[in-house]
Amino acid sequence: MTHEEHHAAKTLGIGKAIAVLTSGGDAQGMNAAVRAVVRVGIFTGARVFFVHEGYQGLVDGGDHIKEATWESVSMMLQLGGTVIGSARCKDFREREGRLRAAYNLVKRGITNLCVIGGDGSLTGADTFRSEWSDLLSDLQKAGKITDEEATKSSYLNIVGLVGSIDNDFCGTDMTIGTDSALHRIMEIVDAITTTAQSHQRTFVLEVMGRHCGYLALVTSLSCGADWVFIPECPPDDDWEEHLCRRLSETRTRGSRLNIIIVAEGAIDKNGKPITSEDIKNLVVKRLGYDTRVTVLGHVQRGGTPSAFDRILVSHWAVWPSCLETLNLVVLPPRVETVAVLPPQTKDVTKAMDEKKFDEALKLRGRSASFTNLLPVPLLGFCPHFSLGSHTVAVMNVGAPAAGMNAAVRSTVRIGLIQGNRVLVVHDGFEGLAKGQIEEAGWSYVGGWTGQGGSKLGTKRTLPKKSFEQISANITKFNIQGLVIIGGFEAYTGGLELMEGRKQFDELCIPFVVIPATVSNNVPGSDFSVGADTALNTICTTCDRIKQSAAGTKRRVFIIETMGGYCGYLATMAGLAAGADAAYIFEEPFTIRDLQANVEHLVQKMKTTVKRGLVLRNEKCNENYTTDFIFNLYSEEGKGIFDSRKNVLGHMQQGGSPTPFDRNFATKMGAKAMNWMSGKIKESYRNGRIFANTPDSGCVLGMRKRALVFQPVAELKDQTDFEHRIPKEQWWLKLRPILKILAKYEIDLDTSDHAHLEHITRKRSGEAAV
């Protein structure tokens, strides 16, 4: 992008007006979306208007449509629901209502509309856009608008941001509010689990979702439920007998509780609703178990939005605020614009109404979320299996990360289902060398999904110095495959095992690395297990800190985050918490940049927003330490603002894993063990396992929408070993958005090429922006 194009981006909105509204059911993250649209819109030079009470406000006009300012969206980021209000509008369904809405937009010169809502809201937007020319013509004929106004408003650009906790919109992997709703659900499930264990109860939990079973499906995988009912996949005709048998066998094996998850739209194969009360009555009548029903209801819509939802909408918001010649566009998470409203959403409901459930699953499965989840079995119930001849060991390496235990549980139980003998190794490679190894049965990993840290124990020790002892124990325990769950040490340990194969034949067994670290710095994967939990911990802490500053006024907080040399946590937490600056190693900065940030905050204190938040990655600069930056801000801000500092430390590694990390870890463990079973069979030669090809030692990583296996040897060239980070990191291109939302005058370009060029130039010695 040329300098002229950059300048054009910053003046793109001059002379234009954008209206933003929230419609339909509320969802956490809607406020964050409104904030981002307003601020990016103002950044481009456009006038931005709030439309209060959704489409009803658009129809009624008057004070329902008000111009927004930069300060008017301050402190909205962490609020649930929608501050500008939402309503289901009957008037807008009629042409007369849409005519009034068109009049209100034309009179204000608004030709760009951002609609944040679900399927019905975006369908209404599509209808509005398609009728626009006819509506203008009718207004002209009635003399309500002039010819000049009609000419200026000859087009209507609409962008739809899909906001719905149900995640029922085809064409997008995740909708605004879904991740936050899962947070609320898992908080309740975790709390219920403790009381259920105390009294040996069965709990039937009903979650929202209408005709979509996504919330129920992810919840069941994340909590280790015994059974799940979802609309898209009705149970077999004899489900009552099957369910009772499963619950009974689970109790016989020593479990003190049963959890059954029910989607509110659950049905049987004849289309008859399956309610939570029906299930309770069945369990009580046939098994006599103490059974309770909890209908979660609207609590799922409430509470603060998760870090994922905040970052998602901040990324999306660049697009509606840069409207040029778009018609109706729906933005999925990867920002792949869909030029028309995806028809599959209604097709799913139609297929279920016609009892074509296989077709409904295929349509729903076009979403990567459903495609990845459906093959993963529920691991709460222990099936009948026979142990085979293959032995697989699983271990944790590096620093602890929330979700490690969920990955171990998934790996162990999938391994057992496949007929493998599964061993667990305590204390990483050091334990493998010392023989701290034991066999794991089904119950060994019971209840591990929601537990933080590492139950197996984990150390940073690498294997190279202990090859002889490790080789001896591989032989002693007949280990034929190794699943390594951990961070950068797990990856470098894998590289050492590959090198060690030249000397020790015993190391010629398949191994796979599952990235699990709060730093998110493992090459070959966009995300690591544990990073989402750490990010939400930072985000929650920053929310509380900002709230404390709201009372004292004129206060700036400097927060130090973990991550080693990787700036992922600082950058993403900066986006999620609304930081004024985030200092990271990947984007070098000078004293002039620090001074510019101080001056920026001085100007901010002159507005109604009298607080500041600055994040610093722990190893962003060896000289500009947290203490140095704190002292600098304190000195330069004398008489204008006070400064405070917080080092978050190891609290970022603790806590229960988030729904994302539980779900991600479960999928990764299942995928890794499926790969391992196939690779062991493939490597069986002359009565033994011998795997010495590059593809027999891999990192299992998430690349965009897919889980892929990449040979560790091939990832060496993509690694900065000195700083323990990948050479290219996808999240760096989001940093300009962070600066725009903090009101810095910068270039608006989030393309990969431009960003890499930007980083290279600065590494050559030019000061960071």
DSSP state of 79: -
Whether 651 has a binding-site annotation, put simply, is yes
Judge whether 166 counts as a catalytic residue.
yes
Tell me if 618 is assigned to a ligand binding site.
Answer: yes
DSSP letters, 353-388, are: HTT-HHHHHHHHTTSHHHHHHTTSPP-SS-------
Residues pairing with 207 in the sheet: 263
**Under 8 Å between Cβ of 545 and 613:** yes
Report strand pairing: 65-67 vs 688-689.
unpaired
301 is in an annotated binding site: yes
Spatial separation of the C-alpha atoms in residues 424 and 444, rounded to whole Å = 10
> Contact, 95 vs 630, CB < 8 A?
no
What DSSP designation does 83 have?
A: T
Q: Do the annotations mark residue 365 as ligand-binding?
A: no
| Strand 706-711, strand 697-703: pairing | antiparallel
Q: How far apart are CA 124 and CA 94, in angstroms?
A: 10
Check whether 121 is labelled as a binding-site residue. yes
Asked whether residue 705 is marked as a ligand-binding residue, the answer is no
To which residue do tokens 């060398």 refer?
433
Residue 524 annotated as lining a ligand binding site: no
653 is annotated as contributing to ligand binding: yes
- Establish whether 644 is an annotated binding residue: yes
In the structure encoding, which two tokens stand for residue 686, read together?
A: 């002359």
The answer to whether 440 and 412 are in contact (CB under 8 A) is yes
CB atoms < 10 A from the CB of 443, how many? 11
Q: What per-residue string of b and e applies to 276-311 under the rule 16 or more CB within 10 Å gives b?
A: bebbbebbeeebebebbbeebeeebbebbbbbbbbb
Residue type, 680: I
Q: How many CB atoms lie within 10 A of CB 251?
A: 17
State how far the Cα of 239 lies from the Cα of 565, in Å rounded to an integer.
Answer: 53
Rounded Cα distance, 679 and 80, in Å: 47
Give the C-alpha distances (Å, rounded to integers) separating 161 from 158, 218, 338: 10, 22, 12
Tokens 């739209």 belong to which residue? 265
Closest CA to 422 of 450, 451, 394, 460: 394
Neighbours of 759 (CB within 10 A): 19
186 assigned to a ligand binding site: no
Measured between alpha carbons, how far is 175 from 153 in angstroms, rounded to an integer? 31
- In b/e form, how buried is each residue of 75-84, taking b as 16+ CB within 10 angstroms? bbbbbbbbbb
In the chain, what are the helix, strand and coil shares in percent, each to the nearest 5? Answer: 45, 15, 35
- C-alpha to C-alpha distance for 27 and 118, rounded to whole angstroms: 10
- DSSP class of 340: S
d(CA 574, CA 18): 26
Q: Coil, strand, or helix at residue 41?
A: helix
CA distance from start to end of the chain: 17
Q: Are 122 and 320 in contact (CB under 8 A)?
A: no
Report whether 499 belongs to an annotated binding site: no
How many Å apart are CA 387 and CA 658, to the nearest integer? Answer: 33
Within 10 Å of residue 324's Cβ, how many Cβ atoms? 9
**Of residues 181, 26, 77, the one with CA closest to residue 576:** 77
Q: Please indicate if the annotation marks 646 as binding a ligand.
A: no
Half-sphere exposure of 477 (CA within 13 A, CB side): 26
Residue tagged active-site, from 166, 173, 179, 427: 166
**CB neighbours of 400 closer than 8 A, spacing ≥ 6?**
452, 453, 454, 458, 653
Q: Is 118 annotated as a binding residue?
A: yes
The owner of tokens 């970022």 is 652
- Residue 129 annotated as part of some ligand binding site: no
Q: Please indicate if the annotation marks 208 as binding a ligand.
A: yes
Q: Is the dihedral of CA 167, 169, 170, 174 positive or negative?
A: negative
Q: Are the CB atoms for 189 and 259 separated by under 8 Å?
A: yes
- The answer to whether the beta carbons of residues 305 and 80 sit under 8 Å apart is yes
β pairing state of 437-439 and 688-689:
unpaired
Q: Is 517 annotated as a binding residue?
A: yes
Tokens of 51: 């439309």
Q: Give binding residues for substrate as ranges.
A: 164-166, 201, 208-210, 264, 292, 298-301
Q: Give binding residues for ATP as ranges.
A: 25, 88-89, 118-121
Q: Give binding residues for beta-D-fructose 2,6-bisphosphate as ranges.
A: 460, 517-521, 555, 562-564, 618, 644, 650-653, 724
Active site residues: 166
Q: Give binding residues for Mg(2+) as ranges.
A: 119
Q: Give binding residues as ranges.
A: 25, 88-89, 118-121, 164-166, 201, 208-210, 264, 292, 298-301, 460, 517-521, 555, 562-564, 618, 644, 650-653, 724
